[in-house]
Structure 1
Amino acid sequence: MRYLIPLLLLLCVGLQYRLWWGESSLPDFWALQASTSKQEALNERLERRNTRLEAEVKDLKKGMAAIEERARSELGMIRQGETYYLLLDQNASTSSPDNKSADNE
């Protein structure tokens, strides 16, 4: 009985050491858990991006409407026979390059 209590205390300290500082300890587990959650968030974001890209590829393969929409929005193209109107903001017209050069003189 005399040696049993110190032996149990020594065993408890040994187990606590492994739990807190040893291989596969709690801090390692927490770090791995945080890394896993970051990777899952990244995977979800990439999955949404892939879904959008897949839909865009299908749309581009399917018809000319997507190609025309892209040409209009990204390249500013217009159809033959259409009239293009450029609407200026009132604030933008007061700060035109002509007015700026007049201010500098």
Structure 2
Amino acid sequence: MLLLLLVCLIGLQYRLWFGEANLGDVQALQQEIERQRAENDLLVNRNHQLDAEVKDLKQGLEALEERARNQLGMIKEGESFFQLVPALPGKPPADSGQSRNP
């Protein structure tokens, strides 16, 4: 009887450690679940931001105007657009058109 119980215990331990759905597989799946939950949280936050942006675009013209200015480079009639370009490293700044006579 004791031998039969020992064989059953060894068989169950074998399945627990090396069989189908063993402890290593379960732990790997738990890590995958946590990774997927973190990714889902990021996507939920992004969806909330997009939803707020859609509502803002539907309700007001300020968001639409801001998007047109930033993404399409549009300006209002009568406005002046100035683009500042940084100087290249090692190159002196371009002459501004003013003479420098002392």
TM-score range, shorter chain: 0.7 to 0.9
Q: Give the distance between the partners of 1:57 and 1:35, measured in 2 at CA.
A: 32
Q: Which consecutive segments of 4 or more residues in structure 1 shift more than 6 A? A: none
Give the residue type in structure 2 aligned to 1:59. Answer: D
Can you give the 5+ residue segments of structure 1 that lack an aligned partner in the other structure? 95-105
| Aligned-residue identity in percent | 51
- TM normalised by structure 2 equals 0.79
Q: Give the distance between the partners of 1:91 and 1:23, measured in 2 at CA.
A: 63
Note the 1:1-105 alignment, pairs <5 A.
Answer: 3-4=1-2, 6-91=3-88, 94=91
Report how far residue 32 of structure 1 moved: 1.5
**CA offset digits 1:40-76 (Å, max 9, x no partner):** 0111111011011001001101110000000000011
**CA offset digits 1:2-50 (Å, max 9, x no partner):** x42x223212201101111223321221122122112101111110110
Q: Which has the higher helix share?
A: 1
Q: Give the distance between the partners of 2:19 and 2:86, measured in 1 at CA.
A: 66
Give the residue type in structure 2 aligned to 1:32. Answer: L
RMSD: 1.8
- TM normalised by structure 1 equals 0.77
Can you give the 5+ residue segments of structure 2 that lack an aligned partner in the other structure? 92-102
